[in-house]
Structure 1
Amino acid sequence: MDKDTNQLKPWVRFWVRNFDLIIFFLLIRSILWNSLSFLGNHPFFRLFIIGLFMIFVEATFIFFFGKTPGKWIGNITVKNYNGNSLNFIQALRRTLLAWITGMFLNIPFLSFIAMWLSRNNLIKKGITYWDEVCKTNVEHSFLPIWRYVIIIIIGILFNLIIYISIIDYLLSLT
């Protein structure tokens, strides 16, 4: 598939993905964290369950709106090859594949490797693995500069908070 590299916008997709991670994580964590107390003092189990909910929430947004909050800011829409909206199973499958192959389940540090490999694949082939398998298209519209700024600032802040929290937690184990 030959696409104009300028239309692929891998960095917009990266920052949009991070924006969605922030929004979904904060929303779901605020709702579920205390209700998951039966897992004891094991934050990794809680985070795993929150991650599963995040996958479901992302797929639900794509099913209903064709985009997530981050994709809305990034002026990105996901459709099938026929130009139609995805049904829920298509949206869930695409989201699962993006999380597994594109982010290695958002495991710290490994996720950046997965995202880098996905970026390279997107530039080389013009499509990500999950979009190819699910037969979906990612459509980009004009993106004003203020939306770039919002996405990047929030993405950087969230990643810093997550990595500092992980390092703090690991140091507390020693």
Structure 2
Amino acid sequence: MAEKAVWYYKKEDQKEGPVSHEELQGKLDNGEIDSTTKVWTDTLEEWVAISEIEHFNLSALDETPTIEVGKKKVVYTRETDEDYVRPRPWIRFWARIVDYSLLYFVITLLSGALGFYLAPFFPFYGMFILFLWVFVETLLLISWGTTPGKWLLRVTVRDEHHQKLSFSDALNRSFSVWWLGMGGGLPVVFIITMIVAAVKLSNTGMTSWDRRSHYRIFHGKVGVGRCLITILYFICYLWLFSWGEFEIMQAYG
């Protein structure tokens, strides 16, 4: 078992150790070493980066503090609970619905302020929102590493090196979700693609776009508080939407 192995690691090209698996994990946790640190144990033929060893958890979460290690900043924590790696299709679904609904609300407010009535264009308007979100999500992922819905429901997206996605990766993933996961918003088609993606995620643990590009999805524990906030959000959202539709019908009726 790797957890019981004796490990050595290199720090500034100097061999350090021996240390246990738990001690080496602790050094990762407090920032003494980072994901590029070379490690070795008697089951390895050569020194390898610790990020290549599956027994060490390197999940990166933005809400953790930056740790100064010499002149280098290291930003990550370790989560070992299986909730952080197991697929959770419904959590991902509701996180995305929160994101879509927020963008819909913002665009509707802006169009209303300009006196533009969107109801006649509703089917195409929904498709437009999904397409627009591709670019909004890309900017959010490369700048903040998350979106409002993902932040609320503790979903974290990282690349294969446990870092925030680059612009090209974020754009590629957002386009893949838009087309492969949401069917471009096309009526009926989007329902089929959502079901196919959900089934694949449940059965294999990854969606096709995350598997192809080696993206890592981590889940934090949502908790009762965040669940209640999410429910309250949708209740308020539906109330505002209904009220807005009523006011529009009164104005144009």
TM-score (norm 1): 0.74
Residues 77 and 138 of structure 1 are in contact (CA less than 8 Å); yes or no, is this contact kept in structure 2? yes
Higher RCO (C-alpha under 8 Å, 6+ residues apart): 1
Are residues 1:67 and 2:149 paired? no
Residues 32 and 50 of structure 1 are in contact (CA less than 8 Å); yes or no, is this contact kept in structure 2? no
Residues 137 and 174 of structure 2 are in contact (CA less than 8 Å); yes or no, is this contact kept in structure 1? yes
Residues 59 and 95 of structure 1 are in contact (CA less than 8 Å); yes or no, is this contact kept in structure 2? yes
- Partner residue of 1:103 out of 182, 189, 193: 182
Q: Deviations over 1:73-94 (max 9, x none)?
A: 0111110011111011111110
Q: Distance in 2 between matches of 1:69 and 1:91?
A: 16
Q: Deviations over 1:55-110 (max 9, x none)?
A: 11011111111110000001111100111110111111101111111111234554
Residues 93 and 134 of structure 1 are in contact (CA less than 8 Å); yes or no, is this contact kept in structure 2? no
Q: Distance in 1 between matches of 2:234 and 2:197?
A: 18
Structure richer in helix, relative to its length: 1
Paired residue for 1:53? 132
Q: Which amino acid aligns with 2:217?
A: V
| C-alpha displacement of 1:156 | 7.5
- Partner residue of 1:87 out of 160, 163, 166: 166
Q: How many residues align?
A: 160
Paired residue for 2:199? 120
Q: Distance in 2 between matches of 1:47 and 1:85?
A: 29
Paired residue for 2:63? none
Q: Which amino acid aligns with 2:192?
A: I
Residues 30 and 51 of structure 1, relative CA distance in 2, 3 Å threshold: farther
TM-score (norm 2): 0.53
Structure richer in strand, relative to its length: 2
Q: Distance in 2 between matches of 1:28 and 1:59?
A: 18
SS at match of 1:85: coil
Q: Which runs of 5+ in 1 are unaligned?
A: 166-174
Q: Distance in 1 between matches of 2:236 and 2:190?
A: 17
Are residues 1:134 and 2:213 paired? yes
SS at match of 1:7: coil
Residues 108 and 19 of structure 1, relative CA distance in 2, 3 Å threshold: farther
Residues 135 and 171 of structure 2 are in contact (CA less than 8 Å); yes or no, is this contact kept in structure 1? yes
Q: Which amino acid aligns with 1:102?
A: G
Q: Which amino acid aligns with 1:94?
A: R
Residues 33 and 59 of structure 1, relative CA distance in 2, 3 Å threshold: farther
Paired residue for 1:18? 97
Residues 18 and 155 of structure 1 are in contact (CA less than 8 Å); yes or no, is this contact kept in structure 2? no
Which of structures 1 and 2 has the bigger CA Rg? 2
After TM superposition, the structure 1 stretch with the greater mean CA deviation from structure 2, 101-110 or 56-65, is: 101-110
Q: Distance in 1 between matches of 2:226 and 2:186?
A: 27
Q: Distance in 1 between matches of 2:179 and 2:106?
A: 21
Q: Which amino acid aligns with 2:159?
A: N
Residues 33 and 46 of structure 1 are in contact (CA less than 8 Å); yes or no, is this contact kept in structure 2? no
SS at match of 1:83: coil
Residues 176 and 209 of structure 2 are in contact (CA less than 8 Å); yes or no, is this contact kept in structure 1? yes
